[in-house]
């Protein structure tokens, strides 16, 4: 994503502000980079990092002025909202005409697991479903696809094994949140970095996540 010092950015579900900091490091004006998150502790971390415009706010009903932003990004947030259609309509009002919305969400209900439960997800999406919701909210879809193709089959097989050989009802959701060790994290980072480079010329047919890039009419 190209970053302009003249553009105003909003990260919906900004967590501790990693994307906000990245935008600023790539040339965005710190006074034009905004973030919202429902977590007070996450926004507290943003403030500690010197991010000026991080706010505790419900992503389903953001109260900034209409047509305030040139670009809105939301990664792994929409699935947390009970009425995602209403949220998208709200986000549409926040964009300037010609502005861009970039959304990433978890893909495929077949991958549903205790991990989704403990993270308070309402759903996972398929590519076409996400695009339809964008268009229903008024957006024009520019690009759509799947991301994290590399890990789709390992995760799918692992979750099938858990369903077949283990009693899911007796497992706690927290068991699905154990952190992998350093070497595993390093391997995953390398695989995703390679996939990001390949995505410049390819569209994968499946993935752990799906994304949609839209503009406001």
Domain residue spans of the chain: 58-216
Res 146: pLDDT: 92
CATH placement of domain 58-216: 3.40.50.150
Tens place of pLDDT for every residue, the chain, 217 residues? 789 999 999 999 999 999 999 999 999 999 999 999 999 999 999 999 999 999 999 999 999 999 999 999 999 999 999 999 999 999 999 999 999 999 999 999 988 988 889 889 999 999 999 999 999 999 999 999 998 877 766 666 666 666 655 555 444 544 444 455 566 566 656 666 666 666 666 777 789 999 999 999 8
Res 201: pLDDT: 62
Rounded CA-CA distance 121/79 in Å is 5
Res 173: pLDDT: 45
Question: How many angstroms separate the Cα of 110 from the Cα of each of 25, 163, 207?
Answer: 38, 11, 12
Res 161: pLDDT: 63
Res 80: pLDDT: 97
């Amino acid at each position: 994503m190209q970053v302009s010092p003249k553009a105003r950015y909003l990260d919906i579900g900004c967590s501790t502000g990693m994307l906000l900091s990245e935008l600023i490091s790539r040339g965005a004006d710190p006074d034009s980079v905004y973030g919202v998150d429902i977590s007070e502790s996450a926004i507290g971390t943003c403030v500690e990092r010197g991010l000026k415009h991080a706010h505790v706010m419900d992503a389903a009903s953001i109260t900034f002025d209409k047509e305030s932003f040139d670009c809105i990004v939301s990664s792994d947030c929409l699935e947390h909202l009970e009425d995602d259609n209403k949220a998208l309509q709200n986000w549409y009002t926040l964009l300037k005409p010609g502005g861009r919305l970039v959304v990433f969400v978890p893909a495929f209900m077949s991958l549903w697991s205790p991990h989704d439960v403990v993270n308070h997800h309402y759903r996972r999406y398929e590519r076409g479903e996400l695009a339809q919701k964008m268009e229903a909210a008024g957006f024009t879809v520019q690009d759509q696809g799947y991301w994290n193709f590399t890990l789709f089959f390992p995760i799918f097989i692992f979750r099938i094994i858990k369903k077949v050989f283990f009693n899911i009802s007796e497992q706690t959701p927290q068991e699905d949140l154990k952190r992998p060790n350093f070497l595993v994290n390093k391997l995953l980072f390398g695989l995703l970095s390679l996939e990001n480079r390949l995505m410049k010329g390819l569209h994968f047919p499946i993935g752990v996540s799906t994304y949609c890039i839209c503009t406001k009419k």
